[in-house]
Amino acid sequence: MSMVAYFLISILAIATPATYAVQHIVGDSSGWTNSGDYTTWAASKTFNVGDTLLFNYGSSHGVDSLSKADYDNCATGNAINSYTGGATTIKLTKPGPMFFACPSFGHCSLGMKLAINVVSQTTTTPSSDNNQSPPSSTTPSTPATSSPDGEGGSTGGTSMVVVGLSMILAPMIVFMC
What residues pair up with 91 in beta bridges, in sequence order?
A: 52
Give the shortest CB-91-to-Cu ion separation in angstroms.
22
Checking phi first, is residue 167 left (phi over 0); if not, alpha (psi -120 to 50) or beta? alpha
- Specify the residue, 26 or 116, whose C-beta has the smaller distance to Cu ion: 26
- Specify the residue, 35 or 117, whose C-beta has the smaller distance to Cu ion: 35
- Residue 91 backbone dihedrals phi, psi, to 5 degrees: -85, 135
Determine the size of the site formed for Cu ion (CB under 5 A). 6
Q: Is 104 in the site for Cu ion (CB under 5 A)?
A: yes
Of 58-77, which residues contact Cu ion (CB under 5 A)?
A: 61
Give the shortest CB-27-to-Cu ion separation in angstroms.
12
**Residues 69, 96: contact at Cβ < 8 Å?**
no
Q: Is 24 in the site for Cu ion (CB under 5 A)?
A: no
Give the shortest CB-63-to-Cu ion separation in angstroms.
9
- Specify the residue, 98 or 103, whose C-beta has the smaller distance to Cu ion: 103
Give the shortest CB-97-to-Cu ion separation in angstroms.
21
Segment contacting Cu ion by CB under 5 A, of 43-51, 81-89, 106-114, 138-146: 106-114
- H helices of the chain, in order, are 2-19, 38-43, 68-73, 124-138, 141-145, 150-176
Of 30-49, which residues contact Cu ion (CB under 5 A)?
A: 34
**Residues 74, 101: contact at Cβ < 8 Å?**
yes
Rounded Cα distance between 63 and 56, Å, is 10
- Residue 30 backbone dihedrals phi, psi, to 5 degrees: -75, -25
Segment contacting Cu ion by CB under 5 A, of 37-45, 95-103, 120-128, 132-140: 95-103
Q: Is 113 in the site for Cu ion (CB under 5 A)?
A: no
* Paired sense of beta strands 96-101 and 113-119, if any: antiparallel
Q: What does the binding site for Cu ion look like in residue numbers (CB under 5 A)? A: 34, 61, 102, 104, 107, 112
